[in-house]
Amino acid sequence: MRIMGLDYGSVTVGVAISDALRLTAQGIEIIRRKEENKLRPTLRRIEELAAEYEVDTIVVGYPKNMNNTEGIRAEKSKEFAKMLHRRLGLPVVMWDERLTTVAANNAMLEADLSRKKRYEAVDMVAAVLILQGYLDCLRKEG
């Protein structure tokens, strides 16, 4: 069984999947929607990917403020996680994602990707960083 990592944004969801041994995270897709509140197709696609990759846990990025408070995005992410749990019946873990988008952009800058390619891929790279952080933590605890 694998773990899925999600970077939930207002119009995109970056998706990453662990390998079968749960050691590494790989980006697989960016789900785009036309309107922020139109979540049915997004949830359906996540459900399809979860079945395809035999996912047993989902990790959703938790965008807390730098001072550890919760803002609107954190609340929306928690609501999204609850929807996922109700729809898929899988455990959904919230994972602190502070600075993952910054780290994703920095990694892509170092890889010398164009601005357009960085813009297109940042959510998926952020999902990889969220999931990899969770996987690393599991190994340390285990």
Q: How far, in Å, CA of 70 to CA of 64, rounded? A: 5
- Over the stretch 89-104, which tens digit does the pLDDT of each residue have? 999 999 988 766 666 6
Residue 57: HSE in the Cβ half-sphere, 13 Å Cα cutoff: 15
- Over the stretch 104-138, which tens digit does the pLDDT of each residue have? 666 656 666 666 665 666 788 889 999 999 999 88
Residue 88 has pLDDT above 70, yes or no: yes
Q: How far, in Å, CA of 89 to CA of 93, rounded? A: 13
Residue 55 has pLDDT above 70, yes or no: yes
Q: What is the pTM of this model?
A: 0.86
- Tokens linked to 85: 């749990």
Q: How far, in Å, CA of 47 to CA of 39, rounded? A: 12
Whether residue 128 contacts residue 30, with contact meaning beta carbons closer than 8 Å, is answered with no
Whether residue 16 contacts residue 27, with contact meaning beta carbons closer than 8 Å, is answered with yes
CATH of 2-141, one of 3.50.50.60, 3.40.50.2000, 3.30.420.140, 3.40.50.720: 3.30.420.140
